Amino acid sequence: MRLNKLVFENISRATPCLFTYLRGVLTVLNLRFLLSPLVLVPLIASSSQAQIPVASATPTAVATQTPTPDPMAASVFSGLKFRPIGPAVTSGRVIAFAVDPGDRSKYYVAVASGGVWKTVNSGTTWSPVFENEGAFSIGAITLDPKNPSTVWVGTGERNSQRSVAYGDGVYRSDDGGKNWKNVGLKTSEHIGRIAIDPRDSNIVFVAAQGPLWSAGGERGLYKTIDGGKSWKPVIAISENTGVTDVVIDPSNPDTMYAASWQRRRHFYTLINGGPESAVYKSTDGGNTWTKQRSGLPPGDLGRIGLAISPANNSVVYATVEAGGNLSGVFRSNDRGATWDRTSSSIAQGMYYGQIVADPKNVDRIYIPNVILQVSDDAGRTQRPLGERLKHVDNHAIWIDPNNTDFILVGCDGGVYESFDKGSNWNFKANLPVAQFYDITTDNDLPFYNVYGGTQDNNSLGGPAKTRNTAGIVNSDWIATNGGDGFQSRVDPLDPNIIYAESQNGGLVRFDKRTGERVGIAPIEGKDIESQRYNWDSPIMISPHLNTRLYFAGHKLYKSDNRGDDWKAISGDLSRGLDRNTLPVMGKVWGPDAIAKNQSTALYGNASALSESPKKQGLIYVGTDDGLIRITENDGQSWRKVDKIAGVPENSYVARVLASQHAAETVYALYNNHQNGDFRPYVVKSIDAGKTWTAINGNLPERGSVYSIAEDHINSNLLFVGTEFGVFFTTDGGAKWIQMKGGLPTIAVRDIAIQRTENDLVLATFGRGIYILDNYSALRSIDRKTVDQASVLFPVKDALMFVRSSASLSSSLGASYYTAPNPAYGATFVYYLRDAPKTFKQKRQEAERNAEKKKEPIKYPSIAELRAEAEEESPTMIFTITNAEGEIVRRITSPASQGVQRAVWDMRYTAPSISAAPPQLPAGVTLPEGFTPGPQGPLVMPGRFTVSMAMRVNGVVTSLPGSQSFNVTVEGKEKITDAERVLLAEFQRKVVKLQRAVSGAADAASSAKTRIALLRRAALDAPTDNRKLVEQANAFSKEIDLLINELRGGREDSDIPPPSISSRIGNVAGSIRLSTLRPTATQLEQYELSNAEFAPILARLRELIETSLPRFEKELEAVGAPLTPGRLPQ
């Protein structure tokens, strides 16, 4: 028994595949007792392991499964990919550049809230190299002067503007942005500058501004001497003051300058300076610092920007924000010991704070501002550099030190370059980093449009998809309003009427047909207090009447005639607080505080608005000071919600959303990030706001909420947009799941649902608009669903339309921006609980387990490695049948775990298969939807059914469930049902003939090669070969004639007649992208091709099937050399 057990254990180790096979089979047969050593050892002992084929050792129909720890984890849904649609026509706020000193065509762009982008070809193309990290807002970027592949990024925008996002410290990449590591200062939140010691790449200084919205955090100037492994504060002032700038003297790196900045912003105010803002200098490599005062303004200071002149390192420039009239440009000629004011003109420090010294001219400086300023006399006189055909609001500038005519500028509109010192600008219209505040959709047909407002780049509208095979392009977009764009609304019955809003209540009604804009914002009459509008004022079209509008400032206004006139239906909806009496940084500041209240809306206004779709006149209004006001009678009376358990008092009400499913159900979002509180607050009421319940569930603690959407079918399916992405819940908020497929780390400011298409549309703040096409499968997702082995979800009807390839995009160069259309066709959404493992995956898993257990790894045999190499990847098979049950097409998709998608292009099976698809020239790509090689024709509209199966190592297993759907066609009135039947029959005939012609032509080409080899064999035959050679020559002549007839190539005419292949190919090509009746010319060309082909096919068949085999026998009989394909007798 002991021996048998030992042999049994050795067999189970030596022949694991056999053992697994037997265990599986015997378990199924309820004969597992045969696995006993007493039974199994004698059974196996007589077998030779070498005789067992490894490839068949494991039954292919029983796949080893990968268990999923959490069936509702975010990774399960990663197959649902968001699609970016841009736009890039306006781009977005660029904050800094980092240019390779050895090659100016290679540089990085730091986007205020869109990550880092890299170009290696002067902006012809871009790659987002910082998009999946813990932050998306960038304050600083620097290249190691000794190694430009080492990139340092400081996260958290360095301005004090109202929409500034927060970061999570410093990142470093040592491979040009391919990989990143967070190296600390995670609570700094905003970083102004990073400076690297030119002598030692491990010595780095970080100007950490610290939190904008609260006290504390990592503030000051930090130094590392070990490349970011550890940090030491070398300037630390207080919990309210950080450092915004630091520069190193290139001629003596021990000499450094830094600027501290005391500031604080809240929703209602800004204090952009204080007594702790100052200029500091170090002469010992940043170890000790002294405050520089001589010649600088006394009293409170705001933001300070620093620059050392590359032309003369003794000269230092500063822009200094100060109280009274003391702000200005300052210059020191003695390395910061004394300062002189050269100008009193500077920009607003909360939004602009840089000064750039010309690389060659010590007196020439550049000052980014609304209008980029330049001075040739150290700032004493300034002039616009040049803004013609360029966006304003400049933040970053880089000047080529070798050619100062070349300038890069980053502004609110993106990236511009000039080759002539700013006289003319080249805009990089291919950088999609627009900051969208709000989003909505219309109900236009056949494709809906998306409208939204952007930071400083207008209110825009564009298509969710187009016919253009190139995709969505910049010219597809229109501007519906100017300024900072905010909320847009579209008449649900007339998609040509769009309401678009700019900052502070600038509301217009835009007519898409004419392009006319009419200002319709309500204005109070004489002696009535002016409206206090939010920067992003809420507007709504009543769900009960498409001509009724509601628009809110500190009062709610109503119009029943699309905004021609208004009536106030409320009093002041806010708390009525005086913001000037509220403490900031521990005290109440007077009116002379630096930039007090600058660029903030008047406090106490409406920030959110919603009317119940189920009950007319039930309206909710949220305010910026934390109230929810409710009327149930269209404004005749109001009640308020001023406290909700767990929600900090006075928190900003980001959204209120009345449910589509229950009259008294409403959701509210509170965003308290401008008080330094980044937690999400999502609450729900089912009694019209009388009581509330928190439903933020497991949403991350760090991630303010901005937006919410409720599915119109499943009331438990909700979506929320947060500072760091979008989440959904299928159980009303108990558990939230992040959706990351194709979506970078980014703030989602607004969410819209296009109900007809079931699309989820996201307004991101720094990466434009993203769409999840047809999210409807999520309605069916719950614990029971994900416990099933596989699920095929309902299929949305597919619209067949003709896509246009008549676009110039293919010849407009690589810089021409296009955003992808959704995949063309019927989309099948499916779920696999577990993905089958391949032999290789199972081996690798066993090796990893052995390593964990510190056991020896079994090295695979040659047979096992061969089995791995020859194994077919697990594949999903989708079979589409028509209403008659006929198989129309089979398509395949990888058998991947989780929710996935496969797309059928609504075509029949291709008439032939190319052995090798045509090779495109280098750099040439086909438009979306086009593939090289043959394609089948479009199917006819009708009812179809799809079923699902899985193929694992050659064995196909049908999976339960099937789904039926319709293929519909656009322009149905253009062709009758009878004509459609004729078109279908004509397409079948064309495909059949094209298949035959293509096959015959391929066979003829193969025969030509075969005949050439047979002729060589005839020439080398060891006998009198004259007759054999004559036959071979005749065959060569005949095959050339047949090929010429089939494919053309005659050289006896300047204009040769069409070949059979070209004739039928033209017919097939012309109907491939058409859903209309065939033309008379198409019918005629088909008949000609068919008539010409019949005798050609007969001759070719006689040659290949009769004459050549007979000739090969003759060659074999005389001992001629063998030719490929011939078997010897």
| pLDDT tens-digit readout, 985-1005 | 898 899 899 999 989 999 999
Is residue 430 situated within a structural domain?
no
pTM score, two decimals?
Answer: 0.90
| Higher-confidence position of 32 and 1103 | 1103
pLDDT at 365: 98
Shared domain for 983 and 1109, answered yes or no, is yes
Shared domain for 721 and 673, answered yes or no, is no
User: From residue 521, how far is each of 548, 758, 853 by CA, in Å?
Assistant: 14, 32, 72
Instruction: Tell which residue, 678, 668, 615, has the closest CA to residue 642.
Output: 668
Give, as one character, the DSSP assignment of residue 840: H
Shared domain for 888 and 910, answered yes or no, is yes
Strand pairing report for 798-800 and 955-969: parallel
Is the Cβ–Cβ distance between 780 and 795 less than 8 Å?
A: no
Q: Is the pLDDT of residue 761 over 70?
A: yes
Q: What are the φ/ψ torsions at residue 617 (nearest 5 degrees)?
A: 85, -5
Beta bridge partners of 71: none
- Confidence band of 537 (pLDDT split at 50, 70, 90): very high
What distance in Å separates the CA atoms of residue 662 and residue 235, rounded to the nearest whole number? 57
Q: Is the pLDDT of residue 798 over 90?
A: yes
What distance in Å separates the CA atoms of residue 766 and residue 989, rounded to the nearest whole number? 52
pLDDT at 978: 83
Give mean pLDDT, residues 494-521: 97
In degrees, rounded to 5, the angle at the alpha carbon of residue 100 between the alpha carbons of residues 94 and 105 is 75
In degrees, rounded to 5, the angle at the alpha carbon of residue 126 between the alpha carbons of residues 120 and 127 is 95
What distance in Å separates the CA atoms of residue 124 and residue 504, rounded to the nearest whole number? 37
Is residue 763 situated within a structural domain?
yes
Is residue 84 situated within a structural domain?
no
Instruction: Tell which residue, 303, 244, 242, 296, has the closest CA to residue 271.
Output: 303
Instruction: Tell which residue, 312, 322, 309, 313, has the closest CA to residue 279.
Output: 322
What distance in Å separates the CA atoms of residue 750 and residue 896, rounded to the nearest whole number? 31
Contacts of residues 1039-1043 at CB distance under 8 Å and 24 or more positions apart, as own/partner, are 1039/1004, 1039/1007, 1039/1008, 1039/1011, 1039/1103, 1040/1008, 1042/1004, 1042/1096, 1042/1099, 1042/1100, 1042/1103, 1043/1001, 1043/1004, 1043/1005, 1043/1008
User: Tokens 């909710």 identify what position?
Assistant: 620
- Confidence band of 1075 (pLDDT split at 50, 70, 90): confident
Cβ neighbours for 743, distance < 8 A, ≥ 6 positions apart: 82, 725, 726, 762, 770
Q: What is the CATH number of the domain that holds 642?
A: 2.130.10.10
Give mean pLDDT, residues 783-801: 94
Cβ neighbours for 1109, distance < 8 A, ≥ 6 positions apart: none
> For the CA atoms of 919, 924, 930, 934, what is the dihedral angle to 10 degrees?
-20
Give mean pLDDT, residues 748-776: 98
Give residue 484's domain range: 443-521
Q: Is the pLDDT of residue 1071 over 90?
A: no
| pLDDT tens-digit readout, 362-395 | 999 999 999 999 999 999 999 999 899 999 999 9
- CA-based R_g, the chain, Å: 36
What distance in Å separates the CA atoms of residue 37 and residue 6, rounded to the nearest whole number? 9
What distance in Å separates the CA atoms of residue 154 and residue 143, rounded to the nearest whole number? 12
Token pair in block for residue 295: 């010649």
| pLDDT tens-digit readout, 561-575 | 999 999 999 999 999
- Confidence band of 27 (pLDDT split at 50, 70, 90): very low
Is the Cβ–Cβ distance between 244 and 209 less than 8 Å?
A: yes
Is the Cβ–Cβ distance between 213 and 265 less than 8 Å?
A: yes
Q: Is the pLDDT of residue 550 over 90?
A: yes
Give mean pLDDT, residues 40-44: 34
Query: Amino acid identity, residue 227?
Result: G
HEC sequence for 659-677 = CCCCCCCEEEEEECHHHCC
Give, as one character, the DSSP assignment of residue 629: E
Q: Is the pLDDT of residue 809 over 70?
A: no
Last residue of a domain, one of 521, 550, 575: 521
Is residue 632 situated within a structural domain?
yes
Shared domain for 850 and 998, answered yes or no, is no
Is residue 360 situated within a structural domain?
no
SS3 941: coil
What distance in Å separates the CA atoms of residue 321 and residue 277, rounded to the nearest whole number? 10
Is the Cβ–Cβ distance between 822 and 809 less than 8 Å?
A: no
**Containing H/E element for 181?**
strand 181-184
User: From residue 722, how far is each of 649, 705, 728, 1042 by CA, in Å?
Assistant: 20, 4, 11, 68
Give, as one character, the DSSP assignment of residue 477: -
Q: Lowest-confidence range among 66-70, 280-284, 285-289, 875-879?
A: 66-70
Beta bridge partners of 257: 247, 281
What distance in Å separates the CA atoms of residue 622 and residue 695, rounded to the nearest whole number? 18
pLDDT at 525: 76
Shared domain for 510 and 631, answered yes or no, is no
Is the Cβ–Cβ distance between 429 and 390 less than 8 Å?
A: no
What distance in Å separates the CA atoms of residue 742 and residue 519, rounded to the nearest whole number? 39
CA 907 vs. chain centroid, Å, equals: 29
Is the Cβ–Cβ distance between 391 and 197 less than 8 Å?
A: no
Is the Cβ–Cβ distance between 135 and 197 less than 8 Å?
A: no
User: From residue 417, how far is each of 100, 446, 612, 829 by CA, in Å?
Assistant: 16, 39, 50, 45
Is the Cβ–Cβ distance between 587 and 264 less than 8 Å?
A: no
Shared domain for 560 and 687, answered yes or no, is yes
Q: What is the CATH number of the domain that holds 838?
A: 2.60.40.4070
pLDDT at 970: 78
Q: Is the pLDDT of residue 48 over 50?
A: no
Shared domain for 982 and 867, answered yes or no, is no
What distance in Å separates the CA atoms of residue 512 and residue 478, rounded to the nearest whole number? 9
- Confidence band of 1072 (pLDDT split at 50, 70, 90): confident
pLDDT at 1068: 87
What distance in Å separates the CA atoms of residue 550 and residue 539, rounded to the nearest whole number? 6
Q: Is the pLDDT of residue 620 over 90?
A: yes
Shared domain for 995 and 952, answered yes or no, is no
Query: Amino acid identity, residue 956?
Result: V
Is residue 1019 situated within a structural domain?
yes
The burial of 921, by beta-carbon neighbours within 10 Å (0-12 exposed, 13-18 middle, 19 or more buried), is given as: exposed
Beta bridge partners of 367: 373
In degrees, rounded to 5, the angle at the alpha carbon of residue 1062 between the alpha carbons of residues 1060 and 1068 is 105
Is residue 426 situated within a structural domain?
no
Is residue 326 situated within a structural domain?
no
Shared domain for 532 and 624, answered yes or no, is yes
What distance in Å separates the CA atoms of residue 212 and residue 675, rounded to the nearest whole number? 9
pLDDT at 806: 58
> Phi/psi zone of residue 112: left (φ > 0), alpha (ψ -120 to 50 degrees), beta?
alpha
Instruction: Tell which residue, 730, 659, 651, 712, has the closest CA to residue 688.
Output: 659
- Confidence band of 931 (pLDDT split at 50, 70, 90): low
| pLDDT tens-digit readout, 963-981 | 999 999 876 556 777 887 8
User: Tokens 């500058």 identify what position?
Assistant: 193
Number of domains in the chain: 6
Shared domain for 1077 and 947, answered yes or no, is no
Shared domain for 749 and 892, answered yes or no, is no
Token pair in block for residue 803: 């896509």
Q: Is the pLDDT of residue 51 over 50?
A: no
Give mean pLDDT, residues 1097-1109: 95
Instruction: Tell which residue, 226, 264, 269, has the closest CA to residue 242.
Output: 264
Q: Whole-number mean pLDDT of the chain?
A: 90
| pLDDT tens-digit readout, 395-446 | 999 999 999 999 999 999 999 999 999 999 999 999 999 999 999 999 999 9
Is the Cβ–Cβ distance between 468 and 474 less than 8 Å?
A: no
Helices H, strands E: what count in the chain? Answer: 11, 68
User: Tokens 């491990």 identify what position?
Assistant: 202
pLDDT at 808: 63
Shared domain for 907 and 768, answered yes or no, is no
Length of the chain: 1129
- Confidence band of 476 (pLDDT split at 50, 70, 90): very high
User: From residue 1036, how far is each of 840, 1013, 1113 by CA, in Å?
Assistant: 50, 11, 18
Q: Is the pLDDT of residue 17 over 90?
A: no
Token pair in block for residue 689: 């706001």
The burial of 616, by beta-carbon neighbours within 10 Å (0-12 exposed, 13-18 middle, 19 or more buried), is given as: middle
The burial of 334, by beta-carbon neighbours within 10 Å (0-12 exposed, 13-18 middle, 19 or more buried), is given as: exposed
Q: Is the pLDDT of residue 7 over 70?
A: no
